[in-house]
Amino acid sequence: LLLAQGFGARALSSDVPLVVAGPCSLTSACSGRMERGRGGKVLGPKAGSEGEVDGRPLAVRKRSSEGDGGSGEPSQQRHGRGAATPTGEEKRAAAGRGATPRRAKKKAGGQAAEGGVFASLQKLKEVPVEDRRKLFVQKMRECKTVFDFSTSKAEGEKEGKRQTLLELVEYANSTPGCFDEASLPVAIDMVAANTFRALVKRERSPADILDPEDDSPGFDEAWPHLEVVYDLFLRIVIDKQGNANAAIKALNRQFLMKMLDLFESDDPRERESLKTILNKSYTRFATLRTGIRRGIHHVCLKAVHENGSATGISELLEVLARIIAGFSVPLKPEHRELFFRALLPLHKLEQLGLFHTQLVDCLKKSVEKDADFAQAVVAVLLRFWPVTVASKQILFLSELEGMLSDMPQAQLPKVQDAVARRLAECVSCPNSDVAERALSLCKNSRVTKLVAQHCREQYPVVISALYGNATAHWASPVHKLTFEVLKLLMETDPELFDHSSAKHRKEAGEAELRDAERKRRWAALQQLYDRKRARSAARAQGQRGGGPLAAGGGEMRAQPSARSRARSTTSLGPEGAGAPSVLCPAAELPLQGGRYGIIACWDSSCAEMELGLQALVVDRSGKIVGAVHDRNALAMQAAVWRGGGGGGG
């Protein structure tokens, strides 16, 4: 076996142990030392060792020793590898560097394993020019591998991938047209594999979302890779020498929708990169413009009607503002639908403050294209007015001021009454911030003239709100602004101001009279209630003190109430001849004393009934022959004496 592998006689005769180098375990390899026979012949494995592993013979090689390489003999070859055994000069050079050949190989292998497959690839600058395109595509395929940055594993491979991505970006910058029909699909697939993922949302309460000081965004741990991937994606989009048809084919509708979904990421750096890429894509690829507009429309509808999330809306509205600026006049039905169905409903979101500036920019550009949109914006503001949210009211007032300034005068009569009423409510708002913003709007000279000219019917409403602020509002800054606005209105139209002031004083006097009348009626109702409550308490006290049926001596007479006396028209005589069928407590019943007492009231003409504890039926001799329980009308009617007989009850 050794002779077949090319070992010389000197190797067999030298007094150096031979070590196994083959497909076997370390234990088996260490046990596979060979023995020498006489004359340098191989006798076989050492006693007690195995000569085969899994049915295959062991390959062996000679372990080099120090001072052994100066013989100048041919170097030994490994079995199946073809690698030359280090010579003496090589060993001495390695020893001069402070490492043996074995340690040098182990260190190089460790570095390759640390960088993974990325470290094993050559640099693009180190290969010939004709081979760079092939290596460029190969590296993009390798970069499809996605790592988990939530753990500290494979740090070397992560860094190796990042360096590879940086090399790809550098090559794309220095090589225009590198994204051809063959390499572009691979590049788009690599971008999709790295970016299209399940987004990790940071848990935020509604208070954190609406808090303007909460500026701690959720940064993505994979951003070291994502940043370079987005940079490479931008190079694909702006490469004018690249294949545009292949790019349009790769950036299909499904890809665009997934890219727009990435705008929900909590990382602002990623949203900014996506905004730049989307803007450049809309500018370069005219075929994709309709799909991008529809995608933005879909995202806005999703935010309004599904999840209510405002993350990424500001970046999309920035892109949309540039798109609207390029619309041709007159607007197409698709553009009008985008305005009415996507932009205006965004006012309903609770997180309006996160994108209100960008939304107003889009609305103003739309109004520049079609002036009729201003009336629609004002109508939506009045419809969705956030009465209970002061921060949104301030935003609405700012937007309302801008729209009133841009609105044509011919459209003001359609919204003037509603605007004046809403303005009066905001001026008298208890929240000082809202009141100050409304008063600042009133100080706008253009708005003041518009209100004085077109809102003459509702002008007194505004004056009344201002007078109310001057006397009843709790904030001193509001008082100061109120007097300034009153002075401005007085100077703008003195006659209208005097007329409105007189009307306000008249209405204030009538309001005082109505208030006094209301208080008087309320006092009368309170008095009736107290009187009824006192009677009820006295009646309850009488029932607790002693019931109508007494077991004690003496005769008892019925003490009717005023209501019972009013209902009683006839009495039951002691003999009962010709007596009516009404038992009245006004009659005195000649019962034997010391035995019982009775009190009852019954009027067959009324639905009401007042009975005592119980009614007793007695005969002429005074013997109790029956009883009727309380509030049993049928039994009471049967027990009432009806006359006409000798022994009737």
Amino acid sitting at position 428: S
The number of angstroms, rounded, from the C-alpha of 310 to the middle of its chain's C-alpha atoms is: 7
* Residue 577 confidence (pLDDT): 37
Is residue 175 a contact partner of residue 207, using CB atoms and an 8 Å limit?
no
What element of type H or E holds 601?
A: strand 600-601
Nearest to 270 by CA among 205, 166, 200: 200
**Phi/psi of residue 189, each to 5°?**
-65, -40
The number of angstroms, rounded, from the C-alpha of 276 to the middle of its chain's C-alpha atoms is: 25
C-alpha distance from residue 153 to each of 148, 156, 157, 178, 634 (Å): 8, 9, 9, 34, 93
The number of angstroms, rounded, from the C-alpha of 320 to the middle of its chain's C-alpha atoms is: 22
CB neighbours (10 Å) of residue 528? Answer: 10
Rounded to a whole number, what is the largest CA-CA distance in the chain?
A: 164
Predicted model pTM: 0.63
Burial readout 143-170 (b: 16 or more C-beta within 10 A, e: otherwise) = bebebebeeeebebbbbbbbebbebbee
**Phi/psi of residue 62, each to 5°?**
-85, 130
- Strand, helix or coil for residue 129: helix
CB neighbours (10 Å) of residue 545? Answer: 7
What span, in angstroms and rounded, lies between the C-alpha atoms of 379 and 393? 15
Is residue 456 a contact partner of residue 496, using CB atoms and an 8 Å limit?
yes
**Phi/psi of residue 342, each to 5°?**
-110, -45
- The residues that bridge with 35 in the sheet, in sequence order, are 44
What tokens does 573 get?
A: 């005589």
What span, in angstroms and rounded, lies between the C-alpha atoms of 474 and 648? 82
Is residue 198 a contact partner of residue 220, using CB atoms and an 8 Å limit?
no
What span, in angstroms and rounded, lies between the C-alpha atoms of 84 and 74? 9
C-alpha distance from residue 408 to each of 365, 378, 411, 522 (Å): 15, 12, 6, 51
Q: Is 157 left (phi over 0), alpha (psi -120 to 50) or beta?
A: alpha
Amino acid sitting at position 223: W
- Strand, helix or coil for residue 214: coil
Nearest to 105 by CA among 142, 159, 64, 73: 64
Q: Is 278 left (phi over 0), alpha (psi -120 to 50) or beta?
A: alpha
What span, in angstroms and rounded, lies between the C-alpha atoms of 359 and 367? 12
What span, in angstroms and rounded, lies between the C-alpha atoms of 612 and 543? 10
Amino acid sitting at position 413: P
> What counts of helices (H) and strands (E) characterise the chain?
26, 10
What tokens does 243 get?
A: 């294949």
What tokens does 197 get?
A: 């993922």
Nearest to 466 by CA among 448, 489, 492: 489
Architecture of the domain defined by 119-202+211-403: Alpha Horseshoe (1.25)
What span, in angstroms and rounded, lies between the C-alpha atoms of 479 and 1? 109
Cis upstream peptide for 23 (omega within 30°): no
C-alpha distance from residue 227 to each of 148, 220, 221, 273, 396 (Å): 16, 10, 11, 8, 37
Contacts with 355 (C-beta within 8 Å, 6 or more apart), sequence order? 310, 313, 314, 317, 346
Question: Domain residue spans in the chain?
Answer: 119-202+211-403, 404-535
Contacts with 583 (C-beta within 8 Å, 6 or more apart), sequence order? 572, 600, 601, 602, 615, 636, 640, 641
CB neighbours (10 Å) of residue 87? Answer: 20
- The residues that bridge with 62 in the sheet, in sequence order, are 18
What span, in angstroms and rounded, lies between the C-alpha atoms of 494 and 195? 66
Nearest to 224 by CA among 146, 332, 280: 146
What element of type H or E holds 421?
A: helix 412-427
* Residue 176 confidence (pLDDT): 87
What span, in angstroms and rounded, lies between the C-alpha atoms of 186 and 137? 7
What span, in angstroms and rounded, lies between the C-alpha atoms of 132 and 125? 8
What span, in angstroms and rounded, lies between the C-alpha atoms of 183 and 554? 122
Q: What is the 3-state secondary structure (H, E, C) of 141-157?
A: HHCCCCCCCCCCCCHHH
Is residue 427 a contact partner of residue 484, using CB atoms and an 8 Å limit?
no
**Phi/psi of residue 498, each to 5°?**
-65, -45
Per-residue pLDDT tens digits for 356-411: 999 999 999 999 999 989 999 999 999 999 999 999 999 999 999 999 888 888 88
* CB-facing half-sphere around the CA of 37: CA atoms within 13 A: 5
Is residue 320 a contact partner of residue 282, using CB atoms and an 8 Å limit?
no
* Residue 4 confidence (pLDDT): 38
What tokens does 642 get?
A: 């009806």
- Tallying the residues shown for the chain, one arrives at 649
DSSP class of 19: E
Residue ranges in the chain whose pLDDT is less than 50: 1-85, 89-112, 546-589, 596, 606-613, 642-649
Nearest to 175 by CA among 230, 87, 236: 236
* Residue 631 confidence (pLDDT): 55
- Strand, helix or coil for residue 611: strand
What span, in angstroms and rounded, lies between the C-alpha atoms of 184 and 250? 8
DSSP class of 77: B
